[in-house]
Amino acid sequence: MEDGDDVVVLAAGVPPTDEELHALFTVSWSNHQPRSFRPILARSLTWVTAHRGGHLVGFVNVVGDGGLHAFILDTTIHPDERRRGLGVRIVRYAADEARRLGAAWLHVDYEAHLQSFYERCGFGPTAAGLMRL
């Protein structure tokens, strides 16, 4: 293990490269299709990355409405890093950044099996609607 491999560094607003995101998403999501993330990140309020030993091991995107609402999207943790608290750390960091940037409400949609994870991040349940387009 190289120096620093045991340390996870969180950063907000430092854009990951497409190559870094593709590498992370490929091992994390079975249905990932390569695409450019530049247009997505250009419309984001901010994003948070986690690196270990120079490798991207976590990512969360925060999209804002230009007012008081922000939304968590694409929370992704490398499979080798899961169940160690990194996911909670990165989402809480994203919440702090959204607050710092003026958001008063942070929203997240998730599948039922992720409810306890997002509760540990500080989210409470709410009724919402969803339409597939």
Residue pair 21/57 in contact (Cβ under 8 Å)? The answer is no
- Reported as a single tens digit per residue, the pLDDT across 13-59 is 888 999 999 999 999 999 988 888 999 999 999 999 999 999 999 99
Sheet bearing 46-52, strands edge to edge: 8-12, 46-52, 55-64, 69-77, 105-107
pLDDT digits (tens, 9 = 90+) for 45-97: 999 999 999 999 999 999 999 999 999 999 999 999 999 999 999 999 999 99
Cβ–Cβ contacts within 10 Å for residue 118, how many? 19
Q: Domain ranges for the chain, please list them.
A: 12-120
CB atoms within 10 A of CB 68: 10
Cα separation, 86 vs 64, in Å, equals 23
Superfamily of domain 12-120: Gcn5-related N-acetyltransferase (GNAT) (3.40.630.30)
**6 pLDDT more than 80:** no
Q: What is the pTM of this model?
A: 0.90
- Identify the pLDDT of residue 5: 67
Question: For residue 24, what are its two tokens?
Answer: 């992370």
